[in-house]
Amino acid sequence: MPKLPKTVQESMKEGEVLVTPLIRSTISDDRGDEPLYQGYPASELINNGYDIPHIIGLLWDNRLVSKQEAEIIKRIIMLSADHGPCVSGALTTIIAACAGIGLSQAVAAGMIMIGPRFGGAVTDAGRWFKYAIDNKLSVDDFLVYMKKNVGPVPGIGHRVKSLKNPDKRVKELVGYVKSLNMATPHLDFALEVEKVTAVKKDNLILNVDGTMAAVLVDIGFPVDSLNGFFILARTIGMIGHWTDQKRQGSRLIRLFDYLVNYASPKRREVPPLK
């Protein structure tokens, strides 16, 4: 039989060839007997009392968060896990479940709904609150800048909640973070923005996206990771809605006619083809 050439792995081991890596990963390594997160064995993290928020810190920000920061992350995930069946993401997942779509596809369909009008404002809110702090803008200057260059302030405003009907999730998170006596320049700024915007219209309040954003920037998470907290949290709820519909044996959903404003022309005669 002809002599077969060495495999790439064999040649690399013997120092005969260099291979340019296809990707570079700085967060985890699975080549041993268990995954390493930033070099820490997963089992040792578990056995030393670390929890999901610490893994988030390692994989999203390359660091072990403190106990205080971990508790904040845990509360954010718990407060954001679900907001009922009527919001865009949950409703889409429910419709998919009732159409017989599998779990992963149904949850993915719900995830597609996350954007600037639903849950996806966390990153943008964090970015602009950080911009204001970094550039030492006053609230008035910030609002003028946003109106001229960006538009509505991400993280401000709610379709249902208002000063008269506040979002308890926001109150809970703000109250807890303030009780820790930690520096919260971004949260403080966001609350000052709310004082001005809510005077103009009582539903222009700091919403849960904006609160999460300000707090997460205050504890050091990179702006581009912030939407991930909403995505992670709401995945829990979407899985719940899918399993809820499957458990009930729910059938295909079709909108009732009275839920549609049919604005097309009334039935009419088709003209002769010319």
pLDDT band, residue 251 (cuts 50/70/90): very high
pLDDT at position 221 is 98
pLDDT for 6-57, tens place per residue?
888 888 888 888 888 999 999 999 999 999 999 999 999 999 999 999 999 9
Q: Which residues of 218-247 are buried (b: 16+ CB within 10 A; e: fewer)?
A: bbebebebbbbbbbbbbbebbbebbeebee
| Spatial CB neighbours of 111, under 8 Å, sequence gap ≥ 6 | 89, 231, 234, 235, 238
Total number of residues shown for the chain: 274
Q: Is residue 243 situated within a structural domain? A: yes
Q: Is the pLDDT of residue 240 over 80?
A: yes
How far apart are alpha carbons 220 and 64 in whole angstroms?
A: 12
In the chain the first and final C-alpha atoms are separated, in Å, by: 77
Identity at 184, one-letter amino acid code: T
Q: Is the pLDDT of residue 1 over 80?
A: no
Q: Is residue 37 situated within a structural domain? A: no
Q: Average per-residue pLDDT in the chain? A: 96
Global pTM reads: 0.90
With pLDDT > 90 as the criterion, what percentage of the chain qualifies?
88
Q: Is residue 191 situated within a structural domain? A: yes
Cβ(58)–Cβ(27) under 8 Å?
Answer: yes
More confident site: 4 or 239: 239
Q: Is the pLDDT of residue 158 over 80?
A: yes
More confident site: 210 or 160: 210
Structure tokens at 48: 């030393």
Q: Is residue 30 situated within a structural domain? A: no
Q: Is the pLDDT of residue 209 over 90?
A: yes
Q: Is residue 190 situated within a structural domain? A: yes
pLDDT for 65-97, tens place per residue?
999 999 999 999 999 999 999 999 999 999 999
Q: Is the pLDDT of residue 252 over 80?
A: yes
Helices (H), 113-184: 121-134, 139-149, 168-179
Q: Is residue 8 situated within a structural domain? A: no
Domain assignment of residue 106, given as a range? 66-252
Q: Is residue 175 situated within a structural domain? A: yes
Q: Is residue 40 situated within a structural domain? A: no
pLDDT at position 132 is 98
Helix (H, G, I), strand (E, B) or coil at 28: strand
pLDDT at position 264 is 96
- CA-nearest of 168, 163, 160 to 197 is 163
Domains in the chain: how many in total?
1
